[in-house]
A = this chain, B = another copy of it.
Amino acid sequence: MKNIVIIGASDAGISAALRIKEIKPEIIPTIISADSFPNFSICGLPYYISSEVKKWENLAHRTADEIKNAGINLLLEHTAQSIDTGKKQLTIAAKEGDLKTKGYDKLIIATGGLSVKPDIPGLNHPGIFFLRWIPESIAIDEYIKKQKPETAVIIGAGYIGMEISEALTRRGIKVTVVEFLESVLPSVDTDIGNKIRIMLMKNGISIYNGISVHSIDKTNGKLVIKGSDNFEISGDMVLVSVGSAPNALLGQSIGINTGIKGAFKVNLKMETNIPDVYAAGDCVETWHTLLQKYVYLPLGTTAHKQGRIAGENAAGRDAEFAGSLGTQSVKIFDMVAARTGLNEKEAAQAGIKPVSADLETWDHKVYYPGAEKLFIRVTADRTSKKLLGAQILGSYKTEVSKRIDIFATALYHGITVREFSNYDLSYTPPLSSPWDPVQMAVQNIEKKL
């Protein structure tokens, strides 16, 4: 019976263990978790900060007991200190400092990611936070309760920055967002980001784009952020959310090849170059289906898929990760922004000749109460006439997130623009139109090809 050890108890690690149990219930995988918060929904942290989730404990996908009861050996507050790949043995430190060794037949490294700490002076002042794990969330919540900040500055306008700008606004804090790029949510095209910026401003958030932050000082009890073009703003708290990087030190120490940002290079079986060592999740490079190359794209959905594949292969099967399309959705106040595949900007960067068309239309027949406008941009390859990607903006109630998934499903199969109209999608007047808006948006691009 195989001895499988997994380092990391977040999305990828737990997915690997659960998949092992599904296909080989007799195996008892060991998971080593540095903290005491296994299998938490990291993506849910903003909703604890906002107080929409009252107890952080509720953010657990599963409790430690549920994981153990599934037949998994879960070592909490244990840190994998070193790996001897010759002996196939780990040295593990318990919280109290005791060291022990543990052998493995197959090892899965799922050490996740880290918040990028930008190279600016003053990051250690009290009141400055990063957000990635439960302890940071608890610290932010406690700071808000005790210090009662009236103003907050968020550095970085990606997914986390956007979600936290809403969360802190809900806590009654006046929020300012400072972003280096020219629009918010850089994962969508700039003009779509601008639509989101306008919505944020309507919700009382101030946004400064095109600012490079140079320093943070503490002056008269306020945190003062200074940046390019004589930018200066102060706040009672600061959240820095300028991206993720792989937590890859342990793996690097055993000679795993690394690529973008230092992430582990893996093949589609999630194997590293070290025999019997797999890696998955935010610590690895991810194969992008459309770009046909590896990228660094740390996402919970991808971590689950990669973990599942690593677990399946470690347990003796032969599975391959199908790749990512970079599908993402985010709810910000009452709006949802979603994307899949390549946007106009990314396609052009990849040397593809993109053509895009925009459609603004009702989410359902306008005669039925509650219809709201959806904005859909579809991007296609001018040469192959295949769909490349889609971006959708709309209200929370307009099925934006599952509409983007129709595109994601279509992209997986390499659909052409023309064939997209063949899909037999559902229609009832309160929820769609005889051609769903996603099909109207694609028909719209046909005219340009």
Contact = CB atoms under 8 A, between A and B. Distances in A.
A367 B44 CA distance: 8
A12 to B, nearest CB: 11
Contacts of A301: 424-427, 434-435
Interface stretch (A129-137, A201-209, A320-328): A320-328
A201 to B, nearest CB: 22
A428 interface: yes
Nearest to A52: B369
A405 interface: yes
A409 B423 contact: yes
Interface string A36-51: 0000010110010000
A52 B305 CA distance: 44
Interface string A420-438: 0111111111111011100
Interface in A324-364: 324-331, 336, 338, 340
Nearest to A422: B322
A424 B401 contact: no
A302 interface: yes
Nearest to A364: B401
Interface in A5-64: 11, 22, 41, 43-44, 47, 52-53, 58-59
A405 B430 contact: no
A102 B293 CA distance: 60
A422 B327 CA distance: 12
A397 interface: yes
Residue among A299, A329, A427, A432 facing the most chain B CB atoms (10 A cut-off) = A427
A398 to B, nearest CB: 9
B426 A396 contact: no
A408 interface: yes
Contact of A424 (B412, B425, B432): B412
A329 B431 contact: yes
A359 to B, nearest CB: 15
Contacts of A447: 22
A399 interface: yes
A94 interface: no
Contacts of A329: 426-428, 431-432
Contacts of A326: 424
A305 to B, nearest CB: 7
A394 to B, nearest CB: 12
A417 interface: no
B429 A47 contact: yes
Nearest to A411: B424
A423 B412 contact: yes
A405 B428 contact: no
A122 interface: no
Given A367-B41, A367-B47, A368-B52, A408 B431 contact: no
21 contacts: A11-B434, A43-B428, A44-B367, A47-B367, A47-B429, A52-B368, A53-B367, A59-B367, A305-B421, A322-B419, A327-B424, A329-B428, A331-B431, A336-B431, A338-B426, A402-B402, A402-B432, A402-B436, A405-B425, A406-B406, A412-B423
Interface of A: 11, 22, 41, 43-44, 47, 52-53, 58-59, 289, 299-305, 308, 322-331, 336, 338, 340, 365, 367-369, 396-397, 399, 401-406, 408-410, 412-413, 419, 421-432, 434-436, 447
Given A43-B427, A305-B422, 9 more contacts: A41-B429, A301-B427, A301-B434, A322-B422, A329-B426, A336-B431, A405-B426, A406-B409, A409-B410
